Structure 1
């Protein structure tokens, strides 16, 4: 309700400004219409992945309903010119309606619930719709970073709670008074102090160490192979990734997307601050083919290598979404293990979202998490209270100082 009131106020002020700009003292319906087109589209977004927009036909109907003296049909009369289609306002009757892109009848591939059916290509299915997003647990990078301000992982920052003192590196910005006095006190007699006051030298000055939160690079490595292609399963997987993207948006992270299927992996989205772009790429992600897990991990490793050169202070969190199977290329399991150990050797924080389902489970995602030096969680655990340990550290077995 508060957001609606703010939108009404903004629109009213905009309409008044438009009228004044036109040299009028009264606000006309056309002023309100132009103000609505300027003020409302981006305010109608329910989450950051919604495209801004406004239905102009609906807007015109609303204006006519509440004050349409400027428009035709105000007395309830029919449109005098039904148009060539026979419908009101020149619109065609239902029997004559064109079968455009927005008409479900023109999409024979659409199934029940509006979900597209497999396109019939060899080894590939058309994209599945993402399930409804949900609130996820916080996945954070262990240790103490020094990256850009955000809301995910612990970091040394200019603002936040004071956690200690240290010798300043460069210019002193935040003096830790107690630590400075403590450093100077033992040397007062040697410095010839004879009266009140404290003799302080430059070496006594101490910088206040403060702890806040930083934003990270959350790199999603998504398995889009045939083993993940079951309709309900891929829908749930996309819903989970979308939920994590929403969380990344709220915590001011950069995100990237690497996908692997068939015989290779590709960077669907290089690291960017545009989280909604990642959501668009995720929505159009096709599935099918074999599982080149090693190729996906190696491509992700290369993305991180390049990104460290661009932004060395920003720490990364790798989220691998897979059932753990590796079937692409020669010796796929051994190659995937070696690729995973590259991340472990560099201390890269990682989480494996285990998408394996069914009564018989092989536990391959858990093995992959162990080789990565990270943590494995199931899709259900991603939003359950049973993974509270992940709130503090996604690598509970390896805490960095």
Structure 2
């Protein structure tokens, strides 16, 4: 038997502990998204919490874990009688693997029984198994978008609907949803982020004493799991008891109108989209009050809930850093409290007192909870004496006599808070530009002075696609054979049949009916007749940026335009679900500034800090790009590459450019020509011809009109995919499509 690491023994991570506990108290909070670097105990603490949840009573033999006191009337295994046998089991912890299919998630029809026995047999999926337990999704950002949509819909509705293969099934699916992700491996799109109730950013502690305590406890656990867990039994029992008490108290907690207006003020002040943030914050505040033993929500509950529910909802584009402006939060809370003279608690409680989910020490003991140390976290602090001191006879606020004046004052204060936030963002942007200019002035290189240009505002770029049909990961760029999308044909299944193509199956069986002795109106179908559907959708590609950072690109306005163009292409890669990589060349060598990754944010950060100066080793840059693509082809052969070379084509050092360009023949490529001035040598265009690549002038990257007219008049889409383009080798590799003119939030 595997012994779970105790929840109380986890060092630090107070915000994560609180977020998990609030969801354990009230599933209406909507789950937790845990963002953080690898090795920060994300998986450990989720498994530890599941072990502390109360056991559940289920109808014996029910595959959908129905509650005997309130069985689901539409349970596929029902209806259950009141005298049905009962069984008790621990709360389930179901882990959804990254490679799970839709059938595994929601359940599927047993096709073999359906075809051979003529019965509709439904096999439950992971959502049914997670009912009344915990559904843990590690690396949720690597799941296909449609799977994330399915599990978030089920989590929000508490019900799973399955409509497929003429089977209609509905069953309860209420669970605590926890997703973890490493932002370096790619972000979730904003629509999916918004569906998670709370989010927590976790990082490894930089305190040597706390890090040492983490290692000390882990070594003690690995050496003797049973003994280590036994020393935390009392703390774990107290935690489980407190969760059960908070659950019982949840229905009696009241949310005064003053606190509700405070929640609305905070959400409006942070300009979050929609009203889901308000609902989640309200539910989290109620759960926090129940956790703290209160019967009425206070300002402290609103503060704690907002700190967890708003950070992931305030991002406006994928390059915005997540997080919450604590000073703005306090300003909005105070503003709402000032607007309510009848405020029961006055909004004056200090932040984050009593938030800890348990009273266990966070550090200082390798063997048990009795020895307190100086490294203990906030969970050890004395509970706030004001937690239960709010009068209970004031649940609604009396209207103001001069309501119109107060409304105007509130509107002015909210506008002032937004202006303050905008001013702080502008100051931060100005600081970044000053730092870039300072680095540009102070840095030097043996090939020439370095400069760091600041990128401008990204713009919409033409959509560049890899020709043909691929088999890569789902995305939004190039055509591909995918498990989802429109049906284009049928084929003999290579393994387990997942999606029957009815027409293909019937056509395969029809010629053999006489020899099979068909006598009735139906067809005689054998296993060999079964055909599965072939579907076509979109795939994500590997977009490798190769950027010339030499002295010939170092003119401030020129490099600013280059960085803006690449940043715009990175934004497009984010929207198309691509992996990105960055190779730069300057001086005497080329460098892989960013190995291929799903995190375009990392690419943007490397691009912003990219210095320029020195000679132009163009051949080395092309050679390094070819090597990166060769390695990635071995790692992920199904993901087709798209190379974007940004250069003026001038080579002032290094090897043979023509030979290096030959290494990239056959790779779909685009050359962004950065040459400017009245007299142009056309070197980048010549290089594009050698690479069989498309050429796009830098100064026309943002001008979509000409490209729309050029490529909509191009009838290449009407020719077979494998037919070469005979109208110029330099245009054979890429197609540009500008039909999608939507902005960022609509495009993703």
TM above 0.5, yes or no, is yes
Distance 1:397 1:109 in 2: 42
- Map of 2:336 onto structure 1: 66
* 1:327 corresponds to 2:652: yes
Shift in Å at residue 141 of structure 1? 0.8
Shift in Å at residue 377 of structure 1? 0.7
- The change in CA–CA distance for 1:177 and 1:342 in structure 2 (over 3 A counts) is same
- The change in CA–CA distance for 1:217 and 1:206 in structure 2 (over 3 A counts) is same
- Map of 1:290 onto structure 2: 615
Residue 294 (structure 2) aligned to one of 21, 24, 31: 24
Deviations 1:340-392 (A, max 9, x none): 11111xx2111111111111121111111111112111224333132246696
- Map of 2:260 onto structure 1: none
- The change in CA–CA distance for 1:200 and 1:15 in structure 2 (over 3 A counts) is closer
Which stretch of the first structure deviates more once superposed, 19-28 or 366-375? 19-28
- The change in CA–CA distance for 1:64 and 1:206 in structure 2 (over 3 A counts) is closer
Deviations 1:216-247 (A, max 9, x none): 11111111111111111111111111111111
Secondary structure of the structure 1 residue equivalent to 2:707: helix
- The change in CA–CA distance for 1:309 and 1:103 in structure 2 (over 3 A counts) is closer
Secondary structure of the structure 1 residue equivalent to 2:442: coil
- Map of 1:348 onto structure 2: 667
Residue 321 (structure 2) aligned to one of 44, 51, 75: 51
Alignment check: 8 A CA contact 1:143 1:399 kept: no
Alignment check: 8 A CA contact 1:7 1:40 kept: yes
* 1:198 corresponds to 2:519: no
* 1:118 corresponds to 2:441: yes
- Map of 1:89 onto structure 2: none
Residue 479 (structure 2) aligned to one of 123, 132, 154: 154
Shift in Å at residue 36 of structure 1? 2.4
Distance 2:679 2:301 in 1: 64
- Map of 2:659 onto structure 1: 338
Where structure 1 has 5 or more consecutive residues not aligned to the other structure, the ranges are: 73-100
- The change in CA–CA distance for 1:150 and 1:163 in structure 2 (over 3 A counts) is same
* 1:386 corresponds to 2:706: yes
Within a 5 Å distance, the mapping from 1:206-221 to structure 2 comes to 206-221=531-546
Within a 5 Å distance, the mapping from 1:25-44 to structure 2 comes to 25-44=295-314
- The change in CA–CA distance for 1:134 and 1:221 in structure 2 (over 3 A counts) is same
Alignment check: 8 A CA contact 1:116 1:128 kept: no
* 1:281 corresponds to 2:590: no
Shift in Å at residue 142 of structure 1? 0.7
Q: TM-score, normalised by structure 2?
A: 0.45
Which stretch of the first structure deviates more once superposed, 250-259 or 162-171? 162-171
Residue 492 (structure 2) aligned to one of 156, 160, 167: 167
Distance 2:428 2:733 in 1: 52
- The change in CA–CA distance for 1:198 and 1:396 in structure 2 (over 3 A counts) is farther
- The change in CA–CA distance for 1:194 and 1:43 in structure 2 (over 3 A counts) is closer
Q: How many residues align?
A: 363
Shift in Å at residue 271 of structure 1? 0.7
- The change in CA–CA distance for 1:323 and 1:21 in structure 2 (over 3 A counts) is same
Alignment check: 8 A CA contact 2:509 2:524 kept: yes
Distance 1:191 1:103 in 2: 76
Shift in Å at residue 290 of structure 1? 0.8
Distance 2:429 2:561 in 1: 26
Alignment check: 8 A CA contact 1:381 1:387 kept: no
- The change in CA–CA distance for 1:199 and 1:293 in structure 2 (over 3 A counts) is same
- The change in CA–CA distance for 1:40 and 1:295 in structure 2 (over 3 A counts) is same
- The change in CA–CA distance for 1:324 and 1:196 in structure 2 (over 3 A counts) is same
Shift in Å at residue 215 of structure 1? 0.8
Where structure 2 has 5 or more consecutive residues not aligned to the other structure, the ranges are: 1-270, 339-345, 350-426, 736-748
Structure with the greater relative contact order (CA < 8 A, sep ≥ 6): 1 or 2? 1
Distance 1:56 1:270 in 2: 34
Secondary structure of the structure 1 residue equivalent to 2:319: coil
Q: TM-score, normalised by structure 1?
A: 0.81
* 1:7 corresponds to 2:277: yes
Alignment check: 8 A CA contact 1:138 1:390 kept: no
Alignment check: 8 A CA contact 1:390 1:396 kept: no
Distance 2:518 2:478 in 1: 46
* 1:361 corresponds to 2:680: yes
- Map of 1:260 onto structure 2: 585
